[in-house]
Homo-oligomer: A and B are copies of this chain.
Amino acid sequence: MQFRNFKMVSYVGYGRGAFNQLDEIIAPHRKAGAPMIFLLDHFFDNGHALASRVPLRGNDKVIFADVTYEPKTTQVDKLAAELKAEFGTVSGVIGIGGGSVMDLAKAVSLMLNNPGSSADYQGWDLVKFPGVYKVGVPTLSGTGAEVSRTTVLTGPTRKLGMNSDFTPYDQILLDPELTKDAPANQRFYTGMDCYIHCIESLTGTYLNEFSKSYGDKALDLCREVFLSGKEWTNEDDDKLMMASYAGGMSIAYSQVGVAHAVSYGLSYLLGTKHGIGNCIVMNHIGEYYPEGVTAFKQMVAQNNIHIPEGICAGLSDEQFETMMNVSLGMKPLWENALGKNWEAIMTREKLRALYEKL
């Protein structure tokens, strides 16, 4: 098809305090004897108040997911296998956390109903069966994972999602109150995932009015919250959560660009997390996004954020080659950013020089 037919999340709840409705929302989806599995970011382990608010019933289970590194296919397979072994079937999987937990929960839901390894489904439209009922509750704003049709996973041979119409959540619950405890640096890195995506897609060669209107809105909201010059407020959390949602929706008919293509290399080789990786790259690509990078640097300064430097110092030639191979493999991203002739513009020499600066 020329135009993608975009699968939407089935139900959306938004509101400050909406987390209190989770029990009521999931109730009709409970099957006798089959538990709900709450997959929480390990950030909420060790007595965080949010963990005690999880609406546990019967044999429901809370699992704290270690997302120090981004989700791996092995981690997904292990979680799904353990749940099958312990319960046979489950009623649903509820992911509560940032982008990594969002993606992990989607992938585990799918692997509870699909045979083999999640690595078998890294790609487009390979997933065979719908997953179990799945709910996304973001506690960080910016990734857009709450509305995307992918789950970014690091597998044995590649970092690629399970992209399918079965992947989007059945339900998302957007409660900006849940983001209030995020450390300022983390909030910024994750928020920049949205901002940088918008800069890349809105200046790209793939775009139509659907994605443009969502992207423009997300960009406006990011600017409002990160360039206000005022202290962070509840209203900023409200807006950033909508920026994330709108940024995620804008992906329907657009594509990311240079920052993402380069940061995928960092993440593959060094395990750099997506949000901070994009920021590290964005700091050095004013050549491609002059206005976007200028505003990015203002945001960094105004919000007193630390962006790491020198993370590629001391890497071997072989390691640089690995990053470059991963990055240059993202052809649609480069084409979106630089046009059909991108290979003549982003030569291996130029990309190597860029990585050396990071």
Contacts from A to B (Cβ < 8 Å) = 1-18, 20-21, 24-25, 171, 174, 176, 208-210, 213, 216-217, 221, 235, 238-239, 241-242, 245-246, 252-253
Contact = CB atoms under 8 A, between A and B. Distances in A.
B1 A21 contact: yes
A217 B212 CA distance: 11
Contacts of A5: 11-13, 21, 25, 171
A222 to B, nearest CB: 12
A245 B214 CA distance: 11
Contacts of A245: 210
B246 A15 contact: no
Contact of A8 (B1, B3, B11, B210): B11
B2 A210 contact: no
A299 B5 CA distance: 34
Contacts of A14: 3, 6, 208-210, 252-253
A253 B18 CA distance: 13
A208 B238 contact: yes
Contact of A18 (B3, B216, B217, B246): B3
Nearest to A213: B242
A7 B13 CA distance: 9
A25 B165 CA distance: 14
B7 A8 contact: no
Contact of A3 (B15, B221, B253): B15
A317 to B, nearest CB: 45
A281 B13 CA distance: 33
Contacts of A221: 213
Given A1-B21, A216-B217, A239-B209, A10 B11 contact: no
B210 A174 contact: yes
